[in-house]
Structure 1
Amino acid sequence: MVRTRGLGRALGHVTGRGVGRGDRDDSGDAPQRQRPTASARRQRVPVTTAHDEPVVPAPDVEADIFSDDPMTPADVEDTGANIPADTGVQAAEDEHEGFPGGPSDLSVLTQYADHVACSVWMGEEHPELKLSYHERKVHSLGRPVPAIEGLVFGTGLSPLIACSVDTGDRGLLSSFVEQWYRETSSFHLPVGELTITLDDVSSILHMPVDDAVQMLVDLLMAGHWTAAARAYLLHLLGCTPFANKSATNVHVVYLEALRDLSQTGRYAWGVVALVHMYDQLNDASINSSRQLGGYITLLQCWIYEHFPSVAESTTDQDYDEDSSRACRWIVTKKTVKSIRTMVYRERLDRLRIPDVFWIPYGEHRPVRDFHLISCYFGLLCWGLVAVYYRPERVVRQFGYT
């Protein structure tokens, strides 16, 4: 069961006013409500009927991470059942609708005209995305002082200190953003649809995705050091899972979730991190976007884990297997080659099923077990941001099978 009660109140109810988002305001990262476009009214029957219908949250999931007014199936009107009987001429016309090299049925990918892939297909080369990269700031700040180290460890966020990669691969990430579609919350590749799941977040970052075991922290003994711990954690969160497009600013909304550090470790931070990553991918996949925010480490290490034939990566031979999976990759200016987006795009076009590592965390299960919450499908909401989480669309097997 996802422990989000309290985190929803801490983050969801204080982010609705005076906060910009996306390319319009690079100074803020607090969420605003954005309904997933797959919920728009449909004019034809989707290609895949079962998976394209909006779903409701699983009844056994305690989900205060959902906002007070989440998008529900009541907001969706599926007009497919009302199609007139004499569809002879119309059906013939529909067969030829769509985009060259793109979707022929526009009832699913409803925003393809504004997608970066559309402009690339039309010969308008899209420049590589600028990466809003803050991971080096974690390294420069260093580890917490001994007086607050126990407090930071008790929140469950301490793995973020060591797992950040040093350099982002602009060409690699730009090529994957071209394959991302907000309507399905997945990358559309020659082998099918793949996406970053809660299991990926748990394994790569070691962030809690369900009820975390609360570490015992003696806050009374800590005294005034709690303020220093909150400041350190605010910097850590702003540079890692919740990095925005600003080079210097971190939104103070996270302080609300750090008010009681004895409860901070019980929040499903990994769920919120995934919502933020999806939202940043949604923004970056629009043709007018020139920048990618979010936690670059999560996306880049996910690619390393699943696509060894696409991304050239270097593993650390001294990797401690008890550490998060992100720590096993050496990602520096020396190891990351300056390969252009076009080259990565060609590699993705040649991708075949044997080239994908479908279950990369088998040997890591003794350290980080698979959580059944990763099989949940429906809406994930953080504050006013709502995204679809659709692992049932993804052509991959989970680690417990």
Structure 2
Amino acid sequence: MSDGFCSTHLQIMVRTRGLGRALGQVTGRGVGRGDHDDSDDAPQRRRPTASARRQRVAMTAAHDESVVPAPDVQDDPMEAPAAAEDIVADIPAGTGAEAAEDEHQGFSGGLSDPSVLTQYADHVACSIWTGEERPELKLSFHGRKVHSLCRSVPAIEGLIAGTRLSPLIACSVDIGDRGLLSAFVERCHRETSNFHLPVRELTITLDDVSSLLHLPVVGDLHAFQPLHVDDVVQMLVDLLMVSTEFARAETAQCCGSYVCLQWVRDIYERQFQTGHWTAAARAYVLHLLGCTLFANKSATNVHVVYLEALRDLSMTERYA
């Protein structure tokens, strides 16, 4: 194949608008809608699809523009139509169907493959993109609650320090940056427990927990089992030294296996005044866990099941 034809062929591949008129100038025959004499011999045009445009596949198009052929055009007029046929042949037969199928998948402006993030349709990021009214972000800070409990007695301080959970006291905050927290909420997905940021996908590692919270990440695992309400009441009686009636009234008010954080603070103050240091230390740590690691959406309650890990305070430090 001569260099002149290669140049012409590249010119056709790079720019396909006005291809029919350009080929007519090269071969002396009309190709396209306006030349009816040789329409049976001309290559048929294919409608461009969205998928083909994205793949930059060369296609024949409406001949409303003209392309100036290269100056060194091949002398043989029969070679150019073959090049046009090669262009059309390069387009896969199912391109249009695949493009139509792709357009129905994913979310506009969001992820294109929802097979992993299956709950994206209910995520706040999807609501923001579609212009829907986003739910109000409720922020709760328990720093003042944690700092309100006094630990002036060395016996209580020693018991709390022995659990290796004391660093959580310094991690409590009184206020926060609403904009920063909103940005992380919008980019966190529960399916992966990761933050999907524009720069990359990030996750919280055990090394982060050890470095930032100074909590042990190596040790025994503790599995919290569901508790019947009677077991909850008995645990409160045994570990916090309250009466059965008092414990049952609180669980009934909180509708199950929860107690109010204010109720736990009252128990702590009562045991602190009476000198029951172990029960006071358990109440303090349960309150601390309810305000930090195991805080929930209620912002007022804590689950009693965490008391099980505080039954023997000398063993708590062994848990990861």
Which has the higher Rg, Structure 1 or Structure 2? Answer: 2
TM-score under structure 1 length normalisation: 0.40
Name the structure, 1 or 2, with higher relative contact order (CA <8 Å, separation 6+). 1
